[in-house]
Amino acid sequence: MTDFLLTLPPNLVLMLINAVHFKGEWVARFDPALTAKDRFYIDSKNIVDVDMMVGHKYPLSLLMDGELGAQVASFPFKANMSLLVVMPMSGKVNVSAIAAKLNTSDLYARLPSEKAMQVKLPKFKLEYGQELEDALTSMGLGSLFSAPDLSGITDSPLVVSSVQHKSSMELHEEGAEASAATAVSTTRANLSFSVNQPFLFALLDDATQTPIFLGVIRNPDPGATAMQNDDPERTGRPDRGHSDSSDDLTK
């Protein structure tokens, strides 16, 4: 996260840096020996093989939200942090549409108690960078980049030349490190939750339900070669739990 400091302009006078770093360990770790390649449905036409972490009796809090059209799962970290995963119940629901209605505090408050279930969660590593001049100008702060009044800092004429944001997040078997259509079956013998289509995630502070990081995963491994989905009807119908019982509850 410090690599952007290597490209500073020679006429730089002042730099303000705001940094956040989180390295979390799962309360219940995933066994690396169980991680294996599995399909992730990017859309109705494309799939990609990704490294999928597996937990056979993983303690998970899982909520079915019909109004949001999504399933919400909470993966707890040690030290009062959680990873909230929000995934459409059907591949036909756009994750961007869900993001527009997302209220993490409300979802967190309605999460049920944990139950042991079969869980599949893809490993991923994200890096994101954005120049914020346009965004700040649209918020009424355009004068910072032209003729700002910074007399409280210095008597010399200063102009803000750039405001940059960079963040990264990595998810693996031990936990997470961040710097700035699945079906759920409830049966008598087995529950399952497989994250194998685009989803939203939020890294939450448990005490305040404040999201520290928010993001959307459309492809956990952009470097992998996408393949054609040989079963388009399969999209939006990820792995179901299986058992000797035929009870399938949707509430």
Question: If pLDDT is split at 50, 70 and 90, which confidence band does 71 have?
Answer: very high
pLDDT digits (tens, 9 = 90+) for 88-146: 987 666 888 888 888 888 888 899 999 999 999 998 887 767 777 888 788 887 777 77
If one compares 210 and 178, the residue with the highest pLDDT of the two is 210
Q: How confident is the model over 44-70, as pLDDT tens digits?
A: 889 999 999 999 889 999 999 988 889
**Torsional class of 49: left (φ above 0), alpha (ψ -120 to 50), beta (otherwise):** beta
Question: Two tokens at 221?
Answer: 């491994």
Of 115, 108, 107, the closest CA to residue 66 belongs to 107
Domain ranges of the chain: 21-128+166-234
Q: What is the per-residue pLDDT for 129? A: 72
Note whether 46 and 226 are within 8 A (CB): yes
CA distance readout (Å), 128 to 28, 125, 196: 28, 10, 22
The architecture CATH gives domain 21-128+166-234: Roll (2.30)
Per-residue model confidence (pLDDT) at position 244: 30
Predicted confidence at residue 189, as pLDDT, reads: 35
* The two structure tokens encoding residue 204: 């939450």
Contact (Cβ atoms closer than 8 angstroms) between residue 36 and residue 30: no
Mean pLDDT lowest for which of 151-165, 174-188, 229-243? Answer: 174-188
CB of 183 closer than 8 Å to CB of 91:
no
Pairing of strands 115-122, 192-194: parallel
3-class SS of residue 74: strand
Q: Which ranges in 101-208 belong to alpha helices (H)?
A: 104-109, 133-136
| pLDDT tens figures, 180-227 | 522 233 333 347 899 999 999 998 999 998 888 888 899 998 888 888
Q: 5-14, 111-120, 158-167, 180-189 — which is least confidently predicted?
A: 180-189
